[in-house]
Amino acid sequence: MELVKIIGIAFISVILIIILKQYKPEFAIYVSIISGILILSLCFTQLEVVVNLLNSIYEKTGINGEFLKILLKITGIAFLTEFGVSICKDSGEAAIASKVDIAGKITIIAISIPIISSLLETVMKILP
């Protein structure tokens, strides 16, 4: 049912944006941002289910908890970056959007360093 709400919000937002662009184009971006926030907030309930599932897998398998936290942070950064890029592109600022995209990718690489180093250590133990 959440998907129906999300599609409804998106449909109403698009209609409002089309109307606002004719009369008050400066307000169209605000409608876009607010609708994006509403849609993201509806997705958080589904995201909670995924996080709980990952936690149960973590508890059963004994995987390093830090890695799970890092993966969740990376996922959040990817979503937020995509949201920011979309807002910038909707505003007609493709140059800023590309910078936000690059910043997100660099942040993801920086956060994933513990996983990369652990993987390299494991490979070095296997190789003679």
pLDDT in tens, 31-75: 988 998 898 888 877 878 888 887 888 788 777 778 888 988 998
Q: Which pTM was predicted?
A: 0.72
Return the pLDDT at 77: 93
Whether residue 91 has pLDDT greater than 90: no
Which two structure tokens, joined as six digits, stand for 20? 């606002």
Return the pLDDT at 113: 93
118 vs 103 pLDDT, higher one:
103
Domain assignments of the chain as residue spans, ordered by start = 1-63, 64-128
Computed over every residue of the chain, the mean pLDDT equals 88
